[in-house]
Chains A and B, each alone.
Chain A
Amino acid sequence: GDSVTQMEGPVTLSEEAFLTINCTYTATGYPSLFWYVQYPGEGLQLLLKATKADDKGSNKGFEATYRKETTSFHLEKGSVQVSDSAVYFCASSKAAGNKLTFGGGTRVLVKP
């Protein structure tokens, strides 16, 4: 079945550091790919998405590129802030329907 694997955390960074969270997927066909963020005590918020190969999703300074050849969708941000501290989830969805398959999540802690 479909699956998503992302690097385990926690990832601890200083403010203004560069952030990378690795994500790879296995799926039949070509799924849409997403990054969701979960702040403490809250539900999931869509951060960015890419629906086909070579698409780049971007939002709030975060970027991820859909790489079909490496089945990856790594999340990057050039300069993190304390407010970026959260749990980040990589997810995939097949073209038909909306079922999301999530990775295990990566906790990011940004220190001042």
Chain B
Amino acid sequence: DAGVTQSPTHLIKTRGQHVTLRCSPISGHKSVSWYQQVLGQGPQFIFQYYEKEERGRGNFPDRFSARQFPNYSSELNVNALLLGDSALYLCASSSRMTDGYTEAFFGQGTRLTVV
């Protein structure tokens, strides 16, 4: 089975532009989370979606938004890009949300460079 797939793998954008990143979870997984990993730092939680509803949001500005589609794939959108948005964006999928931990499987990420 395919793992978590993200597209594109790399992209370069100019300050002020908009970007859309895409994620396809593992088949059967209904939860998708997004993380931002700035170079040299640990990933920071941005959003979690489950069954097409937002279930969690990290401390990121409103320029960041996301959605989940009926097939459980997800998009992360960032408006008015800043140089500081340059990072590796990671998508993670898990089978469900429960009171206990459900393992999250990560994709290889999208490397965004803002110039």
Binding site for A on B (CB under 8 A): 4, 31, 33, 35, 40-45, 48, 55-56, 58, 90, 92, 94, 97, 99-109
Q: Which residues of A contact B (CB under 8 A)?
A: 4, 32, 36, 41-46, 49, 51, 89, 91, 93, 95-105
B43, B99, B100, B102: the one contacting A44 at CB < 8 Å is B43
- Known contacts A42-B108, A43-B108, A99-B45: does B101 contact A51 (CB below 8 Å)? yes
**A105:B42 contact, CB within 8 angstroms:** yes
B56 pairs with A99, CB closer than 8 A: yes
| 6 sampled A-B residue pairs with Cβ under 8 A | A32-B101, A46-B103, A98-B104, A100-B45, A102-B35, A104-B41
- Distance A56 CA – B74 CA, assembled complex (angstroms): 34
A43 touches B106 (CB 8 A): yes
Q: Which 3 residue pairs spanning A and B have beta carbons closest together?
A: A102-B42, A43-B106, A32-B101
Q: Once the chains bind, are A98 and B99 in contact (CB under 8 Å)?
A: no
A27 CB to nearest chain B CB (Å)? 13
Residues in A neighbouring B92, C-beta threshold 8 A: 44, 98, 100
With a cutoff of 8 Å between Cβ atoms, the chain B residues found around residue A46 in the complex are 103-105
Whole-angstrom CA separation of A99 from B103 in the bound complex = 11
Q: A95-B99, A98-B31 are in contact. Are A104 and B42 (CB under 8 A)?
A: yes
Residue of A nearest to B88 (CB): A43
Contact of A97 with B43 in the complex, beta carbons under 8 Å = no
B33 touches A98 (CB 8 A): yes
- B43 near A96: Cβ-Cβ < 8 Å: no
Does A101 contact B99, Cβ atoms closer than 8 Å? no
Most buried by B among A43, A91, A96, A98: A98
With CB as the reference atom, state the residue of chain A lying closest to B103.
A46
On whether the beta carbons of A103 and B102 are closer than 8 Å, the reply is no
Contacting pair A101 B45 (CB below 8 A): yes
**Residues on A with beta carbons closer than 8 Å to the beta carbon of B100:** 32, 51, 95
Q: How far is the CA of A12 from the CA of B107 in the complex (A)?
A: 28
